[in-house]
Amino acid sequence: MEAQKLYDLRENWEFCSGNDLHEFFVEQVGHPSPKGTTEISCAMAVQFVTTALNRSVELAPSAWPGEDVAAVKEMLAGWQAIDAIESVAVDDPSPVADAAVLYLNQDGTYTVSDNGEEVAGLDRENAIRVIVENLTA
């Protein structure tokens, strides 16, 4: 995923300080302020945002209504779903966080499996939707 997504998320939601974001970028790409098009690990970005969000909610719970926290978590789940879809190979199951497994079928459709339940024959948009639902349930 591109660094710009984190810049935008921080600007819109203020879930962390600028220094925290700079430190994260240094750890990931060796520079505190990379270009927005710089690729970073989606998994690491999700982990960083989740940790920062939880800390922010803990420190100032009144500043974080439940619907705001849910909106950020849904966005993170969307990032994970898109990352999984962009990296899955035909007939090579790909885990998505701890919640689901994604398959790319020979016919170009997707199957999402979660706790023994499968939803098959999905196009890209619906596969993302099912993954997001699984990750935010």
100 CB neighbour count, 10 Å cutoff: 24
Which domain-ending residue is among 21, 37, 64?
Answer: 64
What pLDDT was estimated at residue 116? 80
Q: What is the pLDDT along the chain (137 residues), one digit of tens a residue?
A: 999 999 999 999 998 999 999 999 999 999 999 999 999 999 999 999 999 999 999 998 888 888 999 999 999 999 999 999 999 999 899 888 777 899 999 999 999 998 888 999 999 999 999 999 888 88
Which domain-ending residue is among 64, 88, 114?
Answer: 64
Residue pair 17/57 in contact (Cβ under 8 Å)? The answer is no
**Interacting residues of 43 by C-beta distance below 8 A, sequence separation 6+:** 80, 83
Q: What's this model's pTM, rounded to 2 decimal places?
A: 0.81
Which domain-ending residue is among 44, 64, 84?
Answer: 64
Q: Are residues 58 and 77 in the same domain?
A: no
What pLDDT was estimated at residue 135? 87
Q: Are residues 129 and 84 in the same domain?
A: yes
Q: Are residues 80 and 45 in the same domain?
A: no
